[in-house]
Structure 1
Amino acid sequence: MTDTSPNAPIPSAIPPVVLDHPLVRHKLTRLRQASTSTAGFRRLTRELSLLMCYEATRDLAVEPIEIETPLERMEGWALSGKKLCFVSVLRAGNGILDGMLDLVPAARVGHVGLYRDPNTLEAVEYYLKFPEDVAERDCIVVDPMLATGHSAAAAIDRVKAAGVTNIVFVCLLASPEGVAHMNERHPDVKIVTCAIDRELDDHGYIRPGLGDAGDRLFGTK
């Protein structure tokens, strides 16, 4: 039974996983450049999503199966247990979602539509849609930026309210403030990111960052 008393100890948060791979560092540097075109930004985001998906799915359960190769029978491995659901935080999360579906095409997809109030920086919901059996699935929530952490935490609130118990959050960039907020709100959720940048500015943007990921993905600014 979970101790919910006022003096209950705060559970320790799962440390964030920062991908320190040469390909990740190279592609992220190109992604950050102001001179990168919309098409280039989309391509690089998709390529990075493949690498992030590799890490985010590291703990998926597998089971042995017998298969026939062209030469003989052997024991191989197949995914087992709960199936996956990717949850995209609209709109920019779709830039990561596409690449992840390339690796796990059978995964179901959910969407959470949130925008950040420019005055309070709090997340406001405008859309929510999950698969009917989402509670029976492991979920990977994707959003390019973990800035203040309010939108990410709010999205995970919705996923947990749907009954999901195993959640990973994947983003291109995070701020120390965003990681701290997520660790406080959802210490049981692992964060997978390509980098944790220096800080947030007065407008809640990650510095040095890469700008507005949604605008750069969709060419809207």
Structure 2
Amino acid sequence: MTLNSIDVKHLTFKYTDQQDYNTLDDLSFHVKQGEWLSIIGHNGSGKSTTVRLIDGLLAAESGQIFVEGELLTEENVWNIRQKIGMVFQNPDNQFVGATVEDDVAFGLENKGIPLEEMKARVKEALKLVGMSAFANREPSRLSGGQKQRVAIAGAIAMRPNIIILDEATSMLDPEGRIELIQTIKEIRDKYNMTVISITHDLDEVALSDRVLVMKKEKLSQVQHQENSLLEEKNY
């Protein structure tokens, strides 16, 4: 029996400035190990809130989140995050290194990865996202699309079990976006990573195994790519 990477059960969440409605209301779904799941929906439908709850950046009003079978709690949130690589839409919020190379290496250093292995991972990750020539460049001098590539390289280098992309390719041109998404798919296949992607890009959606369609605060539909059928929320 294949283990689910993510199980979300009856999740409800409301921001403190909201009085009349929940951002998420009784949301339930799962993500299989090694699966690519795209989450789509209008702005304000709760897509980014959902993945921030999964990563422990927000705490739910009620409900449960299981990551690889382990219930996410306040006590184990830091351990859970070791399994997840999260890439945000605005990469400036993630840069900490003086150079591109330093930035990609930062998480590996904190994890205590041996130096030679760390160098190899950084080199591989930058090559995969097409940023090898910028290894010694200051992140602040990069374009928006280049910054997104570096942020994705940082996540790839960590080789997490789960990678979450929150509109992480939105600043790339169409050709670059397709190229990078293909690269992430190859990495997913190589390391059996689970990918959760929030996107408005149809090419990115086309590469996923399933699509969750969110409407307002609820999960509206689940599309299985292999048969293009839309199923109702019973999931």
* TM-score between both structures, scaled by the size of structure 1: 0.33
Would you tell me which structure has more helix in proportion to its own residues?
2
* TM-score between both structures, scaled by the size of structure 2: 0.32
The structure with the largest alpha-carbon Rg is 1
- Higher RCO (C-alpha 8 Å, min separation 6): 2
